[in-house]
Structures are given as C-alpha cells and as structure tokens.
Structure 1
C-alpha cells in the first residue's frame, strides 16, 4: 500500500522552490474557474427559478374556469346505472367539441376531454386565458414551486458547465505547455545525467 502523507490545504499557493511561474498561473486559473462556475450557476439558477415562479403565478391569477357546452354528442356510450361505475370514476374520457363565451363576450369553440357519450348541451368546466383561448389547468402554488426549483437547478447546472469546461480546457493547455517545457529542459540536461562531475 502506497504511503500518503497529510493532505496540504491550499498547496497551490504555498511556497515551494520547485514551483514555476506556470504553476502559479494554473493555481489562479483553477481558483478563478471555480469562483465563476459557482457564481454563474447560482445566479442563473435563482434567476430562472424566480422567472418561472413569476410566470406560473401570473397564470394562476389570469386564467379562469368557464363553463362550456358540448356542441354534439361525444363518441362512445355513456355507461348506464347498471354498470356500477361511471366513466369519470374510471378516468375514461374522449375528445368532444365544445363552445364557450370569453370574458369579452366573443364565442369560442374547441375540443376538450369529456365523458363518453356526453349529449349535446352537457356542461363541462374548462380553463381559458385572458383572450378566451383554451389552456390547461394552472399548477397549484406547491406544484409551481417544485417546477420552478427543478428548472432552476437544470438551468444553473447548464450555465455553470460553461465556465467549468472553459477552465478545464485552459488547465489542459497549461499542462501541455508545462510538459513541453519539461521536454525542453530534459533535452538540455538529459545528456549529463549519470556523468561523473569529477
């Protein structure tokens, strides 16, 4: 088993007679890359989270439930009382044409999910935006927080990847340059290796 000494914190900034200028440059590049990565990820994540929460809160405030009427009999057959269950309880629904009136008084038509066999004139509840167009039900406050948090994490990680990868690429170039310097010095001093000085 190889011997491992105690871990030296901040070893890149400690004095060392073998440390070269390129080693100091690499130390600052690593520090800068980590600082920019963390700052970028946190700022992008918080900004995205706030933007998504604001947008979803606006949807909850502006979208309204309205009563729409089925315009023609929906496909399928409505289960009778003898079947012992309703289509709504089983979750089976079909697409049906409906019409509704927007807040500005204009009439709209569209397709929504309704119970099979719904007769013309059956009332169904739909969600509309301020223009009276059909929308899905807005998320609740807790659903909005969860969605905003997930999107914020994804955006933060994606944004942080850019400076992180940039720092890795820069450190790779520094490492190649350091190896090239070692090769030059080895070519200069290698022939003297093992030669007696006296």
Structure 2
C-alpha cells in the first residue's frame, strides 16, 4: 500500500501543487511585467559603501558584483527622478548609462520575474511536495511497522511469562 501511495499519490500531489503554483506565479509575472518598466539612468556618481555579490541569471550563471550608484532617470510619465540604484554594469563612471527597472511611479524596483523562471520555481515546488509526500508516507509506514514489532515483542513476553521459569526442562510436568 505504501509503495502504491509513493509511486502514484505523491507524484500526483506534486504535480497538482506544481501546477497550482505555476498558475499563481504566471499571474505574478504578468502583473510585475505590467507594473515595472525598463529605463536608462545616467550615473551621477558611485554611491558609498561596498559592492554586493549577487546572482542574476540575466547577467550570467555566476555570482557578479552589484554596484550602487547615484543616478538620474525619467519616470514612465516623463517626470525626472534621481536617487541611489543598484546596477550590474561594469561601467559606472559619471555620465555612463545603466539599465534600471522602475515601478509605475518611477521609483527603482527589482527586475520583473520572467515566465521560464516562474516555471522553474513551480517545478521545484512540485518536486519538493512530492518528496515531502514520499517522506511522510515512508515515515508513517515505519511507525506502523515499529508499532507492530513492539506488539509482537509484548506478546512474546507474555508467552514466556505464562510458560514459567521451568519451561523446557524435562520432568517438570510441562
């Protein structure tokens, strides 16, 4: 029974969870892409503070340095803005142009999630739920087997107690 649950129910539960998660994440992708806008900012100066090491799949699969700069840009409605933004650009001299993302009001925002990344997150969530389901089923199976063995030992102990201390000796009337 446990094997059947592990091979059928756990993958089905993982698929269901992954599918639902993908639906929610794809909606989030659509909302983020509608609310965030790519724009070009002009660097005024490099901001103080050490650069951060981050991982950005758009840039590369390796860790890269993110530099904080003070920059000027225009909001989606054309209003001039300025402030501190983070960039992966290696060229951060004053006057350099860097790509940033802004929200509808022109404030700096994170890059919106893309559809393939959402699919990957959903697949990992589904796989994790499947593994969790398998672990719970196996844990339950082991608990049941352990309890059955404990009951068997208790029955054996009672049988030994009924046989008495002279069990197996010849001539004791047993």
Residue 171 of structure 1 aligns with which residue?
Answer: 145
The superposition leaves residues 90-121 of structure 1 with CA deviations (integer Å, 9 ceiling, x where unpaired) of x887432113343464735222224445224x
Work out which of the residue numbers 119, 125, 128 in structure 2 matches 1:151. 125
Work out which of the residue numbers 88, 94, 113 in structure 2 matches 1:119. 94
Work out which of the residue numbers 33, 47, 56 in structure 1 matches 2:29. 56
Residue 69 of structure 2 aligns with which residue?
Answer: 96
SS of aligned partner of 1:137:
coil
Structure (1 or 2) with the greater helix fraction: 1
Offset of residue 65 of structure 1: 0.6
Which runs of no fewer than 5 residues in structure 2 stay unpaired? 49-63
Q: What's the Cα RMSD here?
A: 4.0
Work out which of the residue numbers 34, 38, 41 in structure 2 matches 1:68. 41
Map 1:1-198; keep pairs closer than 5 Å: 30=2, 40-72=13-45, 94-103=67-76, 105=79, 107-113=81-87, 114-116=89-91, 118-120=93-95, 122-158=96-132, 160-189=134-163, 193=168
> TM-score scaled to structure 1, two decimals?
0.54
CA–CA separation in structure 2 for the residues paired with 1:100 and 1:58: 23
Residues matched between the structures, number:
154
Structure (1 or 2) with the greater strand fraction: 2
CA–CA separation in structure 1 for the residues paired with 2:24 and 2:84: 30
Compared CA separation, residues 152 and 173, structure 1 to 2 (3 A)? same
> TM-score scaled to structure 2, two decimals?
0.59
CA–CA separation in structure 1 for the residues paired with 2:170 and 2:13: 55
Compared CA separation, residues 152 and 164, structure 1 to 2 (3 A)? same
Larger radius of gyration: 1
CA–CA separation in structure 1 for the residues paired with 2:110 and 2:104: 13
